[in-house]
Structure 1
Amino acid sequence: MSDTDLRHALRSGNPAKRARALEEQSRAAANRVSRTPTKVRDTSSPRWYAPTMVSLLVIGLLWVVITYLFQGQYPIPYFQENHASDWLLNGNLYIGFLIMMVGFLGLLRWR
């Protein structure tokens, strides 16, 4: 079927003729596709990425739990000793949640 015939068939009011023309057009397009294999670039994350991010989540959780169990004295006693009256009193909680946030944001970028 020539290009002119194909164009006329696609504009035809006859549904069977139009369907046949579309099928012919898709076959022609399939034959034009290159069948040569091409190397697909690997876009996945490295194998160590997910375990590292999950480890950060667990470490952050343990940090927060230890802070609550020892009433802020551990893992870093500096905040209780030197900032008893200001917002840095909860510095251990800030550190724990920051570690968890880094792990969570890293998992969002995991592929």
Structure 2
Amino acid sequence: MNKLKNSDDHAKRRAKRSGNPAKAAKAAEEESRAAANRVSRVPQKVVRTGSPSWYAPSMVVLMVIGLLWVVVTYLFKGKYPLPYFLHHHAADWLSNGNLYIGFIIMMVGFLGLLRWK
């Protein structure tokens, strides 16, 4: 067995040094094929490239909080969750401030989910 291996190695070395370009090309091709088929037995650590595991659930929670904010605003006609907007800005565009806050919270959650990997 050992003699066969030595004779194969010797034939490959001879083919590489040969003046015949076809033999040299074939030897180089066999060598590159053998190098491609070698498998590393050393375990490699896989690098995680996606988002952390807490990211998607926190964005969904933001969207649910925003939805609940808007529902509470409609149910209590703008008095709750923050009565400030109805008391201090009854005549201007900030009278619907609770709706704006709810939609902003939902948009932050939605835009965060767009960046989730």
What residue in structure 1 maps to residue 18 of structure 2? Answer: none
Do residues 100 (structure 1) and 111 (structure 2) align? no
* Alpha-carbon distance change, 35 to 67 in structure 1, aligned in 2, over 3 angstroms: same
* Alpha-carbon distance change, 57 to 34 in structure 1, aligned in 2, over 3 angstroms: farther
Do residues 44 (structure 1) and 50 (structure 2) align? yes
1:51-90 equivalent positions in 2, closer than 5 A: 51-90=57-96
The C-alpha deviation readout for 1:21-43, integer Å capped at 9, x for no partner, is xxxx8xx6785477446443201
Q: Kindly, what percent of the aligned residue pairs are identical? A: 66
* Alpha-carbon distance change, 29 to 66 in structure 1, aligned in 2, over 3 angstroms: farther
Structure 2 residue ranges without an equivalent (≥5): 1-20, 23-28
Q: Secondary structure at the match of 1:103?
A: helix
C-alpha distance in 2 between matches for 1:32 and 1:41: 23
Q: Runs ≥4 in structure 1, deviation > 6 angstroms? A: none
TM value normalised by structure 2:
0.65
C-alpha distance in 2 between matches for 1:61 and 1:30: 60
C-alpha distance in 1 between matches for 2:33 and 2:115: 37
Give 1:72 deviation, angstroms. Answer: 0.4
Structural RMSD (CA): 2.9
Q: Secondary structure at the match of 1:47?
A: coil
2:56 maps to amino acid: A
Q: Secondary structure at the match of 2:53?
A: coil
Give 1:50 deviation, angstroms. Answer: 1.0
Q: Secondary structure at the match of 2:72?
A: helix
TM value normalised by structure 1:
0.68
Count, aligned residues: 94
